[in-house]
Amino acid sequence: MQNSSDDARKPIIAILGGTGKEGRGLAYRWVKAGYHVIIGSRNYEKAQRAVNILKESIGNVTNIEGNVNIKAADAAEILVLTVPYKAHKSILERLKSNLEGKVLIDVTVPIMPPQITVVQMPPEGSAAQEAQKILGDNVQVISAFHNISYEKLLNNNNIEYDVLVCGGTKESKSKVLQLVEDAGLTGWDAGPIENSVVTEGLTSILLGINKKFGTHTAGIKITGVSHSIRK
């Protein structure tokens, strides 16, 4: 964890549905980077258990807490949604007013068991587009972090994979690209929210590769472009 005066100016992040593996992985990285992170859950006790698990890995830090989703959403400036697709629409409808005027990073992938290795998209085109339709134009919905496994996030090792970031305004996307970098990853501006159909769909392809080759950590990397000009 960093301990500089800059930490006070970092936005508060709430990870809605953050008790799952992907949510805990992102929380681990951002807490280590000095962000104040709120783990959100439908159940307060479940959120606290997730916080305690993370503190066992990170140490007895003070910049992480747990709360119910609605209070987490109210307290944060940037929201991160890491729920299974079956809960996607309902949680967005419940929290619509709490997300007003904020940035929402949607990590949801429309995976529908049992055929998780087959790309399946909702009528709107992608989960992120579905979120934007539900929430309206006063929420900046940005699609990111779909193609990074939690196994890579929940440790201090360098991660060689990249993150494609779709949607939002230039300003909101810049904030998300900074979060990607602070999580120890390389982020790429992958265009408008309509392109999220590709980034979300890649998850099913990567799951298929994992299944075929007996691993859990297949990812993607952009080559042929200098990192110094990627933003």
Give the tens place of pLDDT for each residue, 176-206: 999 999 999 999 999 999 999 999 999 999 9
This prediction's pTM:
0.93
pLDDT digit string, tens, across residues 62-108: 999 999 999 999 999 999 999 999 999 999 999 999 999 999 999 99
Q: What does the mean pLDDT of the chain come to?
A: 93
CB of 154 within 8 A of CB of 28? yes
Domains of the chain: 5-222 (3.40.50.720)
